[in-house]
Every structure is written in structure tokens, then in C-alpha cells.
Amino acid sequence: MPAPHKYPDTDELRERAAREFRTTGRPVAHVARDLGIHKEALRQWVRQAEADTGDRDDRLTTAEHEELKRLRRENAELKRANEILKAASVFFAQEIDRPRTRPSK
């Protein structure tokens, strides 16, 4: 489970902070202090913004990250469905293999 967010998880704050860092050319620590956020939080936001704009290729973009999360959820769901189907096939195979007795008249 991820750690709780200390800052409001608003895209506006992240975009504003990253934009201010890029436009002013000031150090991350100074911009972060002015905005009242931790410098490492700002550093991560800037890195993600750079990945989203194509300036970095060592990180997934936000869209790629969301798609990866979606695909992992879908994969887990399909694995669960597959396990259910396997269990059902075993059950029905046992039913088919069970010897049948004729009811007496």
C-alpha cells in the first residue's frame, strides 16, 4: 500500500510547481520552499512532467503508467477467472467420470 500523500493530489499544484521550476531556473529546494512543499516531492513532480513532455525517456509517462496499472488489474482479473474455470472443469470432469447407477424399478 502506498504511503499517504502529504500534499493535495491536484494536478494544478503539480503543474504549477513544475512550471515555476522550469521557468525561473531556480534550484528545486528554493522553489519548493516558496511553495511550501518538500524538495523531493517537487523533484519527482518535475521528473514526471519531463517524462510527460518527452524530455525524459527513463520514466513512463503518466498515460503509460495509468495504462500499465489498468493492464495489471485486467491481468489479475483474467487470472482469477482462469482459476475459476480450471476448478469448474475439474468438478465437471469428476462428474462425468463418476459411474452411473440405474435406478431400480
Question: Could you identify the residue written with the cell 459411474?
Answer: 99
Same domain for 18 and 50, yes or no, is yes
Residue 42 lies in a domain: yes
Number of domains in the chain: 2
C-alpha grid cell, residue 87: 476448478
- For residues 91 and 74, what is the distance between their CA atoms, to the nearest angstrom? 26
Residue 105 lies in a domain: no
Q: Which domain holds residue 33?
A: 7-59
Same domain, 52 and 68: no
- Model pTM above 0.85: no
The three three-digit cell numbers of residue 12, written as one number: 494544478
Tens of pLDDT along the chain (105 residues)?
A: 555 556 666 788 889 999 999 999 999 999 999 999 999 999 999 999 999 999 999 999 999 999 999 999 999 999 999 999 999 999 998 888 777 777 666
- CB of 24 closer than 8 Å to CB of 45: no
CATH of the domain at 41: 1.10.10.10
Amino acid code (one letter) for 50? E
Would residue 103 count as lying in a domain? no
Q: Are residues 90 and 70 in the same domain?
A: yes
